[in-house]
């Protein structure tokens, strides 16, 4: 699967096949399969940590390329991402689209532009994120763009964990929809099988 990875000059119109994306997630251990306790306390047969796949440049390039291709005719002038998860993929998408690239970060619980970053009125904005579950951070970044009178031209993310429920007020695109499967511990079929539950070491995307 390392051969013929699509680049920005590849005008394929087909999305990457879901099975191919899942295979990359499994290979890089971004997607673990077993019996996990999520940060919510719920149990799941899967644990997903997107940063693990993005540590490999070829896969960062591949997934960012899918997003960049989707918006290549949208005349994007600024790519903006919520820190921290979105920054790596936002930077790569911005590079591919040759767009100025900034990020928003939380200060006292509120998402804002810092470091002298700004959005000018009328600029065409693409919001980029790694994983969307409730969409909270992305909605906050969308508000930043709108409050600055930017034009929201699109929202792109690698993984949609919202079961397709989150809708943004612009053209949006995800590389993969990966539904969260979760059970209350007392109703967990894996517990019922007597399988040991694993608590992943760091906070995930839940």
Q: Are strands 172-177 and 110-113 parallel, antiparallel or unpaired?
A: unpaired
Q: Token digits for 146?
A: 């709108």
Smallest distance, Å, CB 188 to Zn ion?
A: 3
Q: Which of 24, 43, 44, 54 binds Zn ion (CB under 5 A)?
A: 43
Could you tell me where the beta strands, DSSP code E, fall in 99-183?
Answer: 100-107, 110-113, 124-132, 151-160, 172-177
- The minimum distance between CB 82 and Zn ion, in angstroms, equals 31
Does 190 bind Zn ion (CB under 5 A)? Our answer is yes
Give every strand in the sheet of 124-132, ordered side by side: 110-113, 100-107, 78-82, 124-132, 151-160, 172-177
Question: Judged by CB under 5 A, which of 188, 204, 205, 206 binds Zn ion?
Answer: 188
- Between the alpha carbon of residue 151 and those of residues 77, 119, 132, 157, the distances in Å are 10, 10, 21, 18
Using the rule CB under 5 A, give the single segment among 3-11, 111-119, 142-150, 183-191 that binds Zn ion.
Answer: 183-191
CB 115 within 8 A of CB 83: no
> For residues 113 and 190, which CB has a smaller minimum distance to Zn ion in the complex?
190
Largest Cα–Cα separation, the chain: 58
Q: Pick the stretch among 41-49, 68-76, 99-107, 115-123 that binds Zn ion (CB under 5 A).
A: 41-49
Q: Is the peptide bond before 84 cis (omega within 30 degrees of 0)?
A: yes
Q: What is the nearest approach in angstroms of Zn ion to the Cβ of residue 32?
A: 14
Question: Which of 51, 25, 3, 22 lies closest to 201 in space, CA to CA?
Answer: 51
Structure tokens at 85: 């998860």
x/- binding map, residues 124-163, to Zn ion, per CB under 5 A?
A: ----------------------------------------
Q: Per CB under 5 A, does 69 bind Zn ion?
A: no
Q: Which stretch binds Zn ion (CB under 5 A): 65-73, 141-149, 160-168, 181-189?
A: 181-189
> Of the listed pieces 39-47, 57-65, 114-122, 132-140, which binds Zn ion according to CB under 5 A?
39-47
Q: Applying CB under 5 A, which residues contact Zn ion?
A: 43, 188, 190-191
């Amino acid at each position: 699967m390392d051969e013929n990875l699509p680049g920005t000059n590849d005008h394929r119109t087909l999305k990457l096949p879901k099975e191919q994306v899942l295979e990359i997630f499994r290979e890089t251990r971004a997607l673990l399969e077993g019996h996990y306790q999520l940060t919510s306390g719920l149990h799941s047969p899967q644990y997903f940590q997107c940063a693990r796949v993005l540590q490999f440049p070829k896969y960062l390039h591949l997934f960012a390329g899918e997003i960049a291709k989707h918006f290549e005719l949208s005349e994007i002038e600024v790519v903006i991402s919520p820190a921290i998860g979105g920054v790596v993929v936002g930077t790569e998408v911005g590079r591919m689209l040759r767009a100025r690239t900034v990020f928003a970060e939380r200060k006292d619980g509120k998402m804002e532009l810092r470091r002298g970053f700004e959005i000018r009125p009328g600029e065409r904005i693409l919001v980029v994120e790694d994983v969307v579950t409730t969409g909270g951070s992305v909605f906050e970044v969308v508000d930043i763009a709108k409050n600055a009178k930017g034009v929201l031209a699109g929202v792109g993310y690698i993984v949609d964990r919202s079961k397709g429920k989150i809708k943004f007020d612009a053209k949006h695109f995800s590389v993969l929809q990966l539904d969260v499967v979760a059970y209350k511990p007392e109703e967990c079929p894996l517990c019922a099988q007597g399988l040991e539950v694993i608590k992943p070491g760091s906070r995930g995307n839940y």
